[in-house]
């Protein structure tokens, strides 16, 4: 029942995000067909973002924040400022590790205000409305303190820095830098955007350039920020590409433009359906990645209060879901000195993960009684040849070892 609830949560939030993006695109371009097409495209490119994590809800807040900041600057209406304060408080309480991004959203306008003030002329760029600068700055200052409305103290201001500067990036793939192999779509997007900016005959909002550069740099620095690039900067990309297409001779023929858009919409929809079918076929839990059978065995045959299991970083969360206390899970920060003084579990895990032969030192230090591994890990061979350990469970993907009572 819990898994079904999480599934519906992802579906509902995803649909709200899609609808919000399509609405904002339409408000910006007044082109319904292009807005729907672009929303589908962004939805597909950011499909890995739509999982049962706090990130999905946070992305919805950031999309709304983008729209509300823009409305505040354009209209000067104070109600938008109060909405921003509410969003800041919600982010601080619901997902503190991304809370600093809440302030990053303000930076394009802050920089733009100073450019206008210094009377710097930039070709092809549309200068923002500065008549509402005072209202903007007043509410920006108020939002700086929204993090203190959290029960976690100063955590909203520090958690992201701790995670990014700690050892977590050695085990979390999405904290690695982007390159053409692991994140090619970002580089292709940059190329398309640059070409569109050069060829367009319409003015480009200076803030759109800053949003694309800012979140683009974040996406290059860490794969995890790719979602920010597509879902937030996508609003800016949408405006730029629509401006280019509207002024392009290639798309002057309405029949050809409609034919291209309809074709691309069908392709994107088919890709999304194909991706969804693949996920349905794997059911809710992929038994090749998560120890479903092994967990059944542990729950049915072992005393959960007395055992201490060493496990892989990636499936510790599933073990917790099954009521089994893992050695480590994907909340990497919890197992570091940055978050828990004196805790070196993540460092010790990485040391053994990099050199399997050091497993004895770790097992002795933490008094490990059982070891749950992927069947193809090198440590499996070491434990098979270690008389102190015996194999008690095995399936196609996982093996479970138990320490001999005689040792």
State the pLDDT at residue 337. 80
Winning range, highest mean pLDDT, from 37-46, 96-105, 242-251: 96-105
CB-based contact 258:33 (threshold 8 Å): yes
On the CB side of 274, CA atoms within 13 Å amount to 7
The DSSP output letter for 363 is H
SS3 state at 388:
coil
Residue 35: C-alpha distances to residues 70, 167, 395 (Å):
18, 41, 48
Q: Which residues are within 8 A (CB) of 165 and not within 5 positions of it... i.e. 6 or more apart?
A: 338
First and final CA of the chain: distance in angstroms? Answer: 42
CB-based contact 359:333 (threshold 8 Å): no
362: how many CB neighbours lie within 10 A of its CB? 17
Mean of the per-residue pLDDT values of the chain: 86
User: What is the H or E stretch that residue 64 is in?
Assistant: helix 54-75
Tokens 């969804």 belong to residue: 276
pTM over 0.75: yes
Mean pLDDT over residues 353-377, rounded? 92
| More confident position, 152 or 308 | 308
Band the pLDDT of 180: cuts 50, 70, 90.
Answer: confident
State the pLDDT at residue 388. 92
Mean pLDDT over residues 87-113, rounded? 92
State the pLDDT at residue 224. 85
Distance CA 118, CA 281 (A): 58
Distance CA 353, CA 170 (A): 10
Mean pLDDT over residues 338-362, rounded? 87
Tokens 């982010």 belong to residue: 91
Distance CA 164, CA 107 (A): 20
Residue 334 φ then ψ, to 5°: -60, -30
On the question of pLDDT at 252 being above 70, the answer is no
State the pLDDT at residue 255. 62
Distance CA 192, CA 211 (A): 16
On the question of pLDDT at 261 being above 70, the answer is no
> The tokens of 343 are what?
């805790």
User: What is the H or E stretch that residue 247 is in?
Assistant: helix 234-247
Mean pLDDT over residues 361-380, rounded? 93
């Amino acid at each position: 029942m819990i898994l079904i609830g999480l599934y519906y949560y992802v579906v509902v939030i995803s649909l709200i995000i899609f609808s919000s993006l399509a609405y904002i695109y339409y408000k910006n371009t007044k082109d319904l067909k292009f807005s729907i097409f672009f929303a589908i495209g962004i939805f597909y490119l950011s499909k890995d973002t739509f999982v049962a994590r706090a990130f999905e809800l946070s992305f919805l807040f950031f999309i709304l924040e983008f729209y509300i900041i823009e409305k505040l600057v354009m209209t000067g209406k104070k109600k938008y400022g109060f909405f921003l304060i509410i969003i800041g408080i919600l982010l601080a309480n619901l997902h503190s590790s991304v809370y600093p991004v809440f302030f990053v959203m303000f930076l394009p306008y802050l920089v733009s205000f100073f450019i206008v003030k210094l009377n710097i002329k930039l070709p092809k760029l549309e200068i923002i409305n500065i008549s509402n600068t005072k209202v903007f700055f007043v509410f920006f200052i108020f939002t700086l303190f929204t993090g203190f409305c959290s029960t976690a103290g100063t955590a909203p201001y520090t958690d992201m820095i701790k995670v990014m500067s700690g050892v977590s990036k050695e085990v979390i793939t999405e904290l690695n830098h982007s390159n053409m192999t692991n994140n090619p779509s970002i580089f292709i997007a940059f190329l398309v955007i640059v070409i569109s900016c050069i060829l367009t005959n319409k003015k480009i909002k200076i803030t759109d350039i800053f949003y694309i550069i800012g979140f683009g740099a974040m996406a290059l620095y860490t794969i995890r920020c790719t979602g920010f690039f597509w879902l937030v900067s996508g609003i800016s990309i949408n405006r730029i590409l629509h401006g280019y297409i509207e002024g392009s001779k290639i798309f002057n023929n309405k029949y050809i433009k409609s034919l291209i858009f309809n074709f691309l919409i069908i392709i994107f929809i088919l890709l999304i359906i194909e991706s969804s079918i693949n996920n349905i076929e794997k059911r809710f839990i992929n038994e090749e990645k998560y120890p479903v059978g092994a967990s059944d065995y542990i729950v049915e045959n072992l005393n959960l209060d007395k055992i201490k299991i060493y496990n892989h970083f990636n499936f510790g969360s599933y073990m917790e879901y099954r009521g089994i206390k893992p050695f480590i899970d994907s909340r990497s920060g919890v197992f570091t000195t940055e978050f828990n003084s004196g805790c070196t579990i993540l460092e010790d895990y990485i040391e053994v993960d990099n050199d399997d032969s050091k497993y004895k030192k770790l097992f002795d230090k933490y008094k490990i009684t059982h070891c749950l591994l992927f069947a193809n890990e090198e440590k499996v061979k070491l434990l098979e040849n270690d008389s102190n350990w015996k194999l008690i469970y095995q399936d196609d993907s996982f093996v479970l070892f138990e320490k001999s009572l005689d040792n």
